[in-house]
Amino acid sequence: MTTAAIITAAGRGLRAGGDIAKQWQPLAGQLVVAHTLAAFDGMVRVLTVHPDDRPRAEALGLDVLIVDGGATRAASVKNAIEALAGRGITKVLIHDGARPLVSQTVITRVINALDGAAGAAPALAVTDALWTGANGMVSGTRDRAGLYRAQTPQGFHFDAILAAHRAHPGDAADDVEVARAAGLDVAIVEGDEENIKLTFPGDFARAEAILKGRRMDLRVGNGFDVHAFCEGDHVWLCGVKVPHGKALLGHSDADVGMHALTDAIYGALAMGDIGQHFPPSDPQWKGAASHIFLRHAIGLARSRGFALANCDVTLICERPKVGPHAEAMRAALADILAVEVDRVSVKATTSERLGFTGREEGIAAMATAALVRA
């Protein structure tokens, strides 16, 4: 059984303020839509976007299928569902890109409810008194019994909601409306007060406060790497080409510092090491630039909702001297990692002429990386 998640992010609404749509604005160090996508990590993910926003979506560097949205929300969702047809999807969750705080608890409730219904959606019972109004005055009241505030993700059996959207004549407030128009039963599951939809400027401050109040998820990993010297006239260290009377021997460009840091990030994620993701037995990585590995590692971290808090790389060698190049190395790593340079440390030490580094047979590096859930 395969579950897919469709994230709707094709809207152009600017009521939240700013010069760009709310889903592309920053929230606690990441774009709103990046927070939203991270909640559905591990699923097949489809992101609907306005054609003008496709470069922004591609720049996320995430494993998502990007689909152009339509003129209406329903049209955007239909485009995404059609893109999933024939891929063996059995359940699909449809979620607002501007709801970045959805919890795994709510997602699980929706998925589990689909075992007994064609559709399921989270909602909160209306508890406030309801009025009607005209000209700024209360004109009447309404009974709140049986009324709910709808949320997303709204989940469905894939074939059923595909047929419902194909048959639906126009726009709809949400996918529950489309499903019910097709005669599908939709179960209500308990929603979450924190699963807010960012709509107005004040909603961003509220979302920031919620994120700060959640338990911090901090991950720390370390990496260690060694490369021997061979014939050559330079070495690559932390993304910088350093002139030297020898080169470093390796299947890739043998950037020992970047390899150690890459392994530190994989370690923090409990996702193995470079050798598992880029096997040295694979000829396509022969002579590869090590920034490919580091970008892959930090991309995995971000796709799982983590940001790099800081990292520290120590190069162990007698020569070449690292000090004159340390700032350039920090800048190179910061650029690859897409973080501020003050989050990156590069330093060097010797082994006091002891061991293989002391005999100048090669260079060793160790690194530590701290990841925090954004």
Euclidean distance between CA atoms 53 and 66, whole angstroms: 10
For residue 93, is pLDDT > 80? Answer: yes
Q: Residues 143-182: pLDDT tens digits?
A: 999 999 999 999 999 999 999 999 998 889 999 999 999 9
**Region 218-239 average pLDDT:** 95
- Model confidence at 284: pLDDT above 90: no
- Residue with structure tokens 């059923």? 160
Count of alpha carbons within 13 angstroms of residue 252, beta-carbon side: 24
Percent of the chain residues past pLDDT 70, beyond the cut? 97
16 confidence band (pLDDT: 50, 70, 90)? low
pLDDT band, residue 215 (cuts 50/70/90): low
- pLDDT of 136 reads 95
What is the average pLDDT across 211-235?
A: 89
Q: Which residue has the higher pLDDT, 1 or 38?
A: 38
d(CA 241, CA 251): 17
Position 285 pLDDT exceeds 70: yes
Question: Are residues 12 and 50 in contact, defined by beta-carbon separation less than 8 angstroms?
Answer: yes
Domains and CATH numbers, the chain: 3-213 (3.90.550.10), 218-373 (3.30.1330.50)
For the beta carbon of residue 143, count every other beta carbon within 10 angstroms.
9
Residue 14 reports pLDDT greater than 80: no
Binned at pLDDT 50, 70 and 90, residue 202 comes out as: very high
Per-residue confidence (pLDDT) for residue 374, from 0 to 100: 63
- For residue 212, the model assigns a pLDDT of 78
The pTM is what?
0.60
Residue 299 CB-density burial (10 A; 0-12 exposed, 13-18 middle, 19+ buried): middle
Confidence of residue 282 (pLDDT cuts 50, 70, 90): confident
- From CA 333, how far away is CA 329, in angstroms rounded? 6
Mean pLDDT of the chain: 93
